[in-house]
A and B are shown apart, each in its own frame.
Chain A
């Protein structure tokens, strides 16, 4: 039974993650009074790209060609550490969130190098921005983890989320609210959404994530698109596990709550994108530092409570 649940968990993540971007686009369209594209647009895109060939630049090396494969496999590996609806993640050990964060850092490193491989100035700009954002976003994640681990006394992701329950919310409401806020900002940054990056933009100079994959085509592009939707899923599931913590022992109801949390965060992303414009590039570090301060504040509240 345990194994079946784990299998279900992996399959659900792999199958549903592209839906997140579909939901975001649909909600944004509703906000703008448009009909919008189908919720399943990303599935069609990935299917279409998987049946195409590819065009490679003359200046790329083997690194560029294996990068998309590496990024997707690393992202899936990272996703396996994250628990699903109160279930144990496929992989779980003390200190696994350190490992998780560094696996994602590795995939970012590969993406940056693959962008630099093309000798394109546009991609260089994107890579440079991505490297800069990481410097400010990494401490946000670790600060949030420090606070969570302090609240629950656990040092694995599963341990932390299995200790989070509705009664903890009663005691720690301000701390957890601040944490959700800073993790939400982190998600916007990691998934390259407004106000950090605008996936709708069509000018190379202003892109960040999109510009780094300008020269990827066909199955390579499909892999990268899929990987970024899984990444979004991972960060959304952090938020979901905090706002709707495991409340019962019934697997299906837990799952339902978990999925509801994930799709709710997608809706929240869409609302954010509809009501605000992206930040000036030079303001981004300040915004991330604000997120960091918020998570420090959460920690301080936590320490002074007891």
Chain B
């Protein structure tokens, strides 16, 4: 615990430094990153101890602390994820921010970066509604300024505005929810007997941060606008604060209703499927990644819904398993999503473009980034051998195990959502990887494209090896993370079964790798005797290769986007081909933000129109405003009497 407090102090201190010493150390990347790494490492150690002991290893049991701070397993788990992400992102930032240094002073950036780190941890610790909202808002504003780093571009300001609106509305919901779950000293206790209202308000408020459908609109706007390291931090750690909040609301509120579970299951399924369907139509790497975050939050919500529903049927062990699966996926997602955003950042760094239809063939030029991105993509598609699969497997396991009990039809929905999401995820990520890294470059460029600098590379290498390690040996990460989850559950049969299965899975992986090596050696021996040559790709004898004739990302996903219609993309505008030798032909297709365009934009227009009708109230006349104040005061006095 001391270590976590020390980490918070380091973050606060370095944000202070970066602002005060803005002409000296404050703007230095290496100084700020070093401080951030130091803080994250200190905190990581503390959080790891906390997870292991299930939040019981606490020298700080003084009443004062216990009254204001949550020091339980849940807080430590999320702190672990947050510190881990900050650690890798800080290493990555050293090189990533270099090009920015010539353009502007980075002291304000670093101030916000440290502030975001600080406020995320502080949110996880606060046991007091007022403190929680304070740090929550601090988190919102510091991340807003980070998103606005390139504020000179118009689209960045637009994205920033949407993000600000989402934050504001979310905070309103939260304040409303907290009025039901805090007492007169703002401590978290349920003070209102109708728990469902409080829960749904909290779900909406936290959902705006977590970004599930239909509250996800800010994600695909803010991520492409923000610098790569900021998107990594936001997507891997910050949106998880929303999930933490939902967990917290569940732990405060009782009794639970099965309608909560059904709602979360429906939201989760919708987010997982629509998130991927919309990602298929996107043309920019970071937008695809943002929609993939929506999908993963969806998977997490499916797990949460399943856990609540299983609990309502008194299947406690399976419900605990589903809760573990959710947390496991939170951890795994933070690893592979920060890796993917870092990969996208290196591509932007090198090629100065994130448009998939313009890129291609980068694997040969930037092998490290390509391998890291490949590992991240396979993990994000939930494929075995990587860590994305393990969490999903545990959700599947809980769902399938519950099938033998009565009234578990919800499990069927969970399974079908997950299986569809798995196949769609594979399609979406194979499209992105192949469009960016494989084949031949689709546009000519004079720029020399190469792997990024040492620190960026090492952050990606570390993260991809953690993804591989956690994927190949899920047993270890699972047991490390959940041995302190709940005393009763840790010794239960379900937990033992799960650890056994995860261990067996590693054995199968080992066998598969062994088989791979044997088959590889066999082929090598054949090749040592036979002739191996290189030639052009088979092209039906058509001799001139045109890179533009390749299948692009858009053409790869066209079958699926056409099938899913308007949600996935806008149908292409096509000029028809006439005659035997057509000369003019054009085809244009564009992606779209379905919910933003069809739901939020019209709604915003309507609200604006309605608001304009009342604009006479805001006349700009100072005397009139004083009059309003007078009326308000008078009304208050009358009301009090």
Contacts and interface: CB of A to CB of B under 8 A. Distances in A.
B361 A53 contact: no
Interface stretch (B340-348, B555-563, B569-577): B555-563
Interface string A101-125: 1110110110011001111111111
A220 B519 CA distance: 10
Interface stretch (A27-35, A147-155, A175-183, A189-197): A147-155
A58 B533 CA distance: 10
Given A63-B438, A98-B400, A122-B540, 15 more contacts: A51-B530, A55-B535, A56-B532, A73-B515, A77-B508, A99-B508, A109-B381, A121-B551, A127-B434, A135-B424, A142-B415, A150-B403, A150-B404, A153-B404, A219-B523
Contact of B550 (A52, A121, A214): A121
A8 to B, nearest CB: 19
Interface in B486-517: 497, 500-501, 504-505, 507-508, 511-513, 515-516
Nearest to A122: B538
Q: Which among A50, A66, A77, A215 has the greatest number of chain B C-beta atoms within 10 A?
A: A77
B515 A135 contact: no
14 contacts: A53-B526, A53-B530, A69-B520, A91-B508, A94-B497, A95-B397, A99-B393, A99-B505, A102-B382, A117-B434, A128-B551, A128-B555, A138-B420, A149-B403
A125 B551 contact: yes
A166 interface: no
Contact of A95 (B361, B424, B501, B522): B501
Contact of B416 (A72, A112, A142): A142
A119 B441 CA distance: 9
A117 B438 contact: yes
B92 interface: no
Interface string A44-67: 000000111111111101010010
Contact of B512 (A77, A108, A129): A77
Given A55-B535, A91-B508, A146-B415, A124 B556 contact: yes
A116 B401 contact: no
B389 interface: yes
A86 B555 CA distance: 45
Given A77-B511, A143-B416, A95 B557 contact: no
Contacts of B511: 77, 80
Nearest to B556: A128
Contacts of A59: 361, 439-440, 537
Interface of A: 50-59, 61, 63, 66, 68-70, 72-74, 76-77, 80, 91, 93-95, 98-99, 101-103, 105-106, 108-109, 112-113, 116-125, 127-129, 131-132, 134-139, 141-143, 145-146, 149-150, 153, 155, 204, 214-215, 218-220, 223, 281, 285, 299
B523 A220 contact: yes
Which DSSP category, helix, strand, loop or mixed, fits chain B's interface?
A: helix
Interface size class of B (residues with CB under 8 A): 35 or more
A135 B244 CA distance: 31
Nearest to A101: B419
Contacts of A145: 400
Contacts of B424: 135
A91 B507 CA distance: 10
A26 B385 CA distance: 39
B558 to A, nearest CB: 7
B560 A120 contact: no
Contacts of B426: 105, 108-109, 112, 131, 134
A127 B430 CA distance: 9
Contacts of B378: 106, 109
Contacts of B403: 146, 149-150, 155
A123 B523 CA distance: 24
Nearest to B395: A98
Nearest to B428: A131
A215 B416 contact: no
By Cβ-Cβ distance, the 8 closest A-B pairs, closest first, are A124-B551, A53-B530, A116-B434, A119-B439, A53-B531, A131-B427, A73-B515, A138-B423
Nearest to A92: B504
A299 B411 CA distance: 13
B585 interface: no
Contact of B400 (A95, A214, A285): A95
B397 A57 contact: no
B527 interface: yes
B423 A105 contact: yes
A138 B422 contact: yes
A131 B419 contact: no
A58 B534 contact: yes
Nearest to B433: A113
Interface of B: 360-361, 363-364, 370, 374, 378, 381-385, 389, 393, 396-397, 400-401, 403-404, 412, 415-416, 419-420, 422-424, 426-427, 430-431, 433-434, 438-440, 497, 500-501, 504-505, 507-508, 511-513, 515-516, 519-520, 522-523, 526-527, 530-540, 545, 547, 549-551, 555-560, 563
B422 A105 contact: yes
Given A146-B412, A149-B400, A99 B556 contact: no
A223 to B, nearest CB: 7
Given A56-B534, A77-B508, A116-B434, A106 B385 contact: yes
Nearest to A56: B534
Contacts of A72: 519
Contact of B384 (A50, A102, A141): A102
A66 B527 CA distance: 13
A94 B512 contact: no
A136 B422 CA distance: 11
Nearest to B441: A119
A124 B169 CA distance: 44
A101 B500 CA distance: 20
A74 B403 CA distance: 29
Nearest to A90: B511
Contacts of B513: 73
B538 A214 contact: yes
Contacts of A219: 522-523, 526-527
Nearest to A149: B403
A112 B512 contact: no
Contacts of B534: 55-58
B276 to A, nearest CB: 9
A208 to B, nearest CB: 11
Nearest to B533: A55
Nearest to A142: B419
Contacts of B540: 122, 204
A132 B516 contact: no
Contacts of A150: 403-404
A63 B427 CA distance: 18
Contacts of A138: 419-420, 422-423
A215 B537 CA distance: 7
A11 to B, nearest CB: 15
Contact of A94 (B364, B397, B558): B397
A61 B363 contact: yes
Contacts of B434: 112-113, 116-117, 127
Contacts of B438: 61, 63, 113, 116-117, 119
B427 A70 contact: no
Residue from the set B363, B434, B513, B522 with the largest chain A CB neighbour count within 10 Å = B434
Contacts of B361: 59, 119
A155 B417 CA distance: 18
Contacts of B557: 128
B291 to A, nearest CB: 16
A175 B43 CA distance: 56
Contacts of B516: 69-70, 73
Nearest to A74: B512
Contacts of A214: 538
Contacts of B384: 99, 102-103, 106
Contacts of B385: 106
B629 to A, nearest CB: 60
